[in-house]
Amino acid sequence: MSNKINEKVPEIVIEQQSTSPFVKKRSFMDDNASETSSIKGKERFKALTKKVIAVQRLLSADQIFSVGQDPGIDPRTVDYDLHNKCDIFCSDFNEEKAFNTERLTNESLEAFLQKPRPSGSKVRWINVDGISWDVIKILAIYYDLHPLAIEDILQSSQRTKLDPYKDHIYVSLLLHTLVDSEKDLQVDNSDDDSSTDGRVRSRQDLLHHGHREDSRYLEAHRLYRKQKLYVAVETVNIFLLTNDILLTIFQHSGRQVFKPILSRIIQPKTLLRTAQDASLLMEAVIDAIVDLAIPIKDSYRHQIAELEGRLLIRPKLYHTHGILFSELHMISGELTILKRTLGPIQGLVTLLRNHKHEKELITSTAKTYFMDVADHCAEIVEDLDTMTKITESLVNMVFNMISYETNENMRTIAIFSIVFLPMTFIAGYYGMNFDRENFADLGEPLSYFWRITSVVTVLMFIVGTYSIWTKWVSRFIRYLYKRRSMKRAEAAKARQSK
């Protein structure tokens, strides 16, 4: 039975910049209003064409995963309309030697697999960047991958989980990377058709239907905050096979994971070389995926610290409270989504540590090092939880400050009302149309009115500011009492010294 760890998570967690080429272009045009008016019809047609292609891909996916069909996908009988250019790397190594890393293409993969492994090869690692049906079909038939696992690969919204099968173990988890939006924007605006390249195509094409609402929510955050970085999340598929073979399939690009591990393989006398263990190689891949989330955590910590400083240093700037509240509210929502996507990895690592397979695909050495990965996951999740609580407390602080300033303003208005109410009453009273014979006071000079008004105003001012001046008086009395006590203590100390 599949050990599914959590509910579906959004394909993209955007911190500050969109992953959709259409939204990006609109945002870019908002910042350059003069260029918006000069967009040619050809460019508009190209954008609409890409959008139609993306919709057709989603429709073709619905045809594959329709209601009532048998679970799983048999690569020998099913043809899936998903063709992209992939980067494929294969590395063989043992304790004494790391063989040359082969860079393959969609066309050369099948011929390469038909060749025998290099003599003395103990571990083989095949890494695929991009999702393409022709590549998946070749790997699935050659290594006899389970149909359910193949179906999970094609479902880009797959959640974090562990599926043990008879001859292999399938692991699906999420890779979080911090991406520069300006570089990504240049890729999306290039003249090349990005829809034909599985490595550089827009991540929006990889969205599943169930993730659209989350993407709109996160895209609204990006448009409001207008920052240069965003957090992209993609699915990583890992197969641990017999004969110490490891397959890793990245939905977009796994170079940030592949390159550092490959350098460890090339260097002699490293743990991966001496262990000659594919399960330990899988542990290294998962550990690298977890470590890539640390810069994201640090980035959010820096943002929260900056907002907290702005709030504490200048707390009485009323016009900034709305901006701070909006930013804190969005950060809180993004942290919640990050916890929802990173949290299941912690449970996945625990399952791998405790997993028992009849063929012992995961060795005791790998299980030992999975403990370190579990510690890193726990640290990241705990820090995210702490930052979420800090953000919520800052939001409450903003609310309290707004309420306090509102109360202070109402108090000032009330004091002015109390002060001017007697003057208004007296002026209105004496300003009524009375007969001078029956109201002799109307014949008095103007100073008579001001004498009455001044006395009543002073009395009402004293009553209205009672809480303020009594506080000052009480402070002054405490000051005098404290000063008197200090003088007595000094006098007693002087007498004792004599």
Q: What does the alpha-carbon distance between residue 236 and residue 252 come to, in Å, rounded to a whole number?
A: 9
How many C-beta atoms surround the C-beta of residue 122 within 10 A?
18
Tell me whether residue 445 is exposed, middle or buried, using C-beta atoms within 10 angstroms of its C-beta: 0 to 12, 13 to 18, 19 or more.
exposed
Sheet holding 87-93, edge to edge: 3-4, 161-164, 168-180, 229-241, 245-250, 123-129, 87-93, 102-104
Helical axes 293-313 vs 278-291, angle rounded to 10°: 20
Candidates 12, 455, 472, 420; CA nearest to 205 is 12
Candidates 288, 290, 291; CA nearest to 258 is 288
Residue intervals of the chain classified under CATH 1.20.58 are 406-497
Candidates 362, 289, 351; CA nearest to 127 is 289
With a CB cutoff of 8 Å and minimum separation 6, the contacts of 46 are none
- Give the DSSP H or E segment for 278: helix 278-291
> Three-state SS for 388?
helix
CB 302, CB 295: distance < 8 Å: no
Residue intervals of the chain classified under CATH 3.30.460.20 are 3-400
pLDDT score recorded for residue 332: 87
How many C-beta atoms surround the C-beta of residue 351 within 10 A?
15
CB 389, CB 328: distance < 8 Å: no
Candidates 185, 184, 174, 196; CA nearest to 86 is 196
Query: If the chain, 498 residues long, is cut into consecutive pieces of 10 residues, what is the mean pLDDT of each piece?
Result: 39 34 33 44 62 52 57 83 89 89 89 90 93 93 92 80 91 86 47 39 33 45 56 90 93 88 91 92 95 91 87 67 78 87 90 81 91 92 92 86 83 79 72 62 67 78 76 87 88 82
Residue 91, CA distances (Å) to 85, 97, 138, 361, 452 in order: 20, 11, 18, 19, 100
CATH number belonging to domain 406-497: 1.20.58
Fold (topology level) of 3-400: Beta Polymerase; domain 2 (3.30.460)
Sign of the torsion formed by the C-alpha atoms of 333, 335, 337 and 339: negative
